[in-house]
Amino acid sequence: MCLSFERSGSEIKRETYLDRAPRGATDRDGEKIDIHGKLKVKIQFGNTTYQHAVYVADIADPFILGLDFLKEHGFTLDFNKNELRSIHEEVTIFKIEHRSESIRQVTANENITIPPRTEIIVPGYIGNDVSFNSGLIGSAENKANGLLIASTLVDLSRKTIPVRICNVTEKSRVFQKGEVLATCSPVTCVCKSSRLLLSNLPQQLTPDLLENAELSPEQKSSAERLFQEFEDVFSRNSSDIGHTTVTQHRIDTADHPPIKQHPRRLPFAKQEEVGTLLREMQENDIIEPSSSPWASPIVLVRKKDGSTRFCVDYRKLNDVTKKDSYPLPRIDDTLDTLPVINGSRL
């Protein structure tokens, strides 16, 4: 069976089709194919032109030659050289690539309907005889019908695996139980240790923290081991303030229009210092360039040690911000919940 992709057939009039397409046609992954019709085309290999009937279908590949064409026109498969050849001419058509047997099909675990212009996560099934523990979900090769499959890392030790599918068309898409949703390829997980080496920390970190502590030698030894175990929580310099990618903070201003305040004038002597502070914060991933319609002026505050604290006047922004109904707990209340050990909580 020879297939031509839909774009090739989009300019073909309906009356040019020889007949309507057969129902229930599937691809090599076992997924149903929407076939528009059948027609005769000319196919050229080298200096020889052949005529053959092909089906116009919704597939991702430009053209797929079937065994019916190869048999009818005398083509041979040379598995020793892994090549496909024409017997009329010495023309190598293409090299056959063996599909990795480790790539598995992910099928629908139940009947699923995806509404138009909707993205959902559906349960998929891969079988019990997989030889790898982690896999990467990918799109099946014929997903040219308005369905997008998100690349997702999944744990194959579970009975079902999540498949994220987006239907960008105006029609609902129905998957029957057992129908192919996506593919899953093995993943080798190489995880780097999140712990920092003790040599990267300031050399005097542990002695400085324990020098004036009223602890016995055994307690100091235990404290040193504790510092080494959680060394990654200590700041190594003034620019090492830490950050998280687990969540993203959002300021809820409801439907209030953006507030744009003009920058305040700075003394000429302070302008260079502001530029230096901005560069340092950007290099340390504390700030980043932005084109936000919101703008608040900066304020420079002199510290007791003579250095400058870089501040931003957010008072007008705070006035329109929706107040959070979940305040932080009191520190003293939190400390009171700690157990007392040897007469002290710390």
Tokens read off for 48: 């020889």
In this predicted structure, what is the pLDDT of residue 198?
Answer: 44
Element (H, E) at 34: none
In this predicted structure, what is the pLDDT of residue 316?
Answer: 94
Identity of the residue numbered 263 = P
Ranges under pLDDT 70 in the chain: 1-32, 60-61, 79, 81-82, 84, 87-102, 140-145, 188-212, 339-346
In this predicted structure, what is the pLDDT of residue 196?
Answer: 41
Per-residue pLDDT of 6-59, as tens digits, reads: 444 444 444 455 566 566 666 665 666 777 778 888 887 777 888 888 888 777
Contact residues for 94 (Cβ-Cβ < 8 A; gap 6+): 83, 84
Q: Among 110, 127, 114, which Cα is nearest to 164's?
A: 114
d(CA 88, CA 93): 12
Report yes or no: 94 and 165 within 8 Å, Cβ to Cβ: no
Element (H, E) at 152: strand 152-155
Identity of the residue numbered 288 = E
Percentage with pLDDT > 90 across the chain: 10
Report yes or no: 144 and 62 within 8 Å, Cβ to Cβ: no
In this predicted structure, what is the pLDDT of residue 29?
Answer: 56
Tokens read off for 119: 């993205």
DSSP structure string for 223-267: HHHHHHHTGGGS--STT-----SS-------TTPPPPB-PPPP--
Per-residue pLDDT of 45-80, as tens digits, reads: 777 888 888 888 777 667 777 888 888 877 887 767
In this predicted structure, what is the pLDDT of residue 180?
Answer: 87
pTM equals 0.35
Strand, helix or coil at 308?
A: strand
